[in-house]
Structure 1
Amino acid sequence: MLKEFKAFAMKGNVIDLAVGVIIGGAFGKIVTSLVNDVIMPLVGLLLGGIDLSSDQLHLREESYLKYGSFIQTILDFLIIAFSIFLFVRLLQRFRKKEESKPVESTPSKEELLLTEIRDLLKQQQERQN
C-alpha cells in the first residue's frame, strides 16, 4: 500500500495540481489585497465614500441581515474572477506563441535508413523498367 501511495503521489498530475493550489492560494491573496486595498477604496471614492460592508438590516434583538457585506463579497468575487480570467488569457497567449514556433527536427537513424532503403528500391525498380 505504501508503494502504491508513493506511485500515486509522485505522478506528474498530482504534483502539478499541488503546485497549482499553492500558486493559486498566493495569487488569491494578491488579488484580495488588490481588491481590498486598491480597487474598493477607489470605488468608494467614486461613489461618494460609500462602504457597503457596514450596511445591515436590523431584524430582531441581536439578529442582523448583513446585506452590505454580502454585496461586498459578490463584488470581490467578480473582480477576482475577472483578474484570474485576464491572467489565464495572458498565459494562453504565451503558450500559443511558443507552439507556433517551428520546430526543426533532425531525422533519426531509423528514418535515414528507411529513406535510404526507399531510394534503393526506387533505383532498382527504375532499372527493371
Structure 2
Amino acid sequence: MAFFSDFKKFLLKGDIVALATAVVIGGAFSKIVNSAVADIIMPVVGLITGGTDFTQKFIALNGENYESLKAAKEAGAAVMTYGNLIQAIINFIIVGLFIYIVLKAYEKTKEPEAPKAPAGPTEKDILIEIRDALKK
C-alpha cells in the first residue's frame, strides 16, 4: 500500500503536472508549426527553388542511374538520400525562424518588470556609521 501512496504523491507533484501540461501544449504547438511549415512556407520555398523536391535527391551506391528514388529502391539498389538531409535542414531553419517569431511576439505581450528599488544600506553599513559617529 505504501508503494501506491508514494506513487500517487509522485504523480501529483506540481513538477509532474507542469511537465505533463508542457508536453501536451508542446504537442499541440508542434502541429501548428508543422502545418505552417508544410502548408504556408514550403510552397513558397518550392516556388523559389523551382519546385525542387529535395526528398527525391539521392545517389545510388551501385553507380547506376535511376529515374527516381522509387525506381532505385525497387531495383534493390542501396541509396544515399542526401536530399532528406537537405530537406531536414531547411525544415529546421524554417521551424526555428517560426518559433523565434512566435516567442518574440509573446515577449511583447508580457508586462515589463518593475524596476527594483535601490538596495539600502546593510545592517553592517549602519553599524559602521553608528560606530564612526560615536567616535566623533
**CA distance in 2 between partners of 1:10 and 1:17 (Å):** 11
Partner of residue 5, structure 2: 3
Partner of residue 84, structure 1: 99
Task: Establish whether residue 75 from structure 1 lines up as the match of residue 77 from structure 2.
Answer: no
Residue of structure 2 aligned with 1:18, choices 7, 17, 20:
20
1:23-47 per-position Cα deviation (integer Å, ceiling 9, x unaligned): 1111111111211121111111012
Partner of residue 46, structure 1: 48
Partner of residue 68, structure 2: none
8 A Cα contact 1:32 1:76, kept in partner: no
Q: When the two structures are aligned, how many residues end up with a matched partner?
A: 100
Query: What is the RMSD computed on CA atoms of the aligned residues?
Result: 2.0
Partner of residue 57, structure 1: 59
What stretches of structure 2 of length at least 5 have no aligned partner? Answer: 63-75, 115-136
Q: Percent identity, please.
A: 38
The TM-score, its normalising length taken from structure 2, stands at: 0.64
Give the direction of change, closer, same or farther, for the CA distance of 1:42–1:28 in structure 2 (3 Å limit). Answer: same
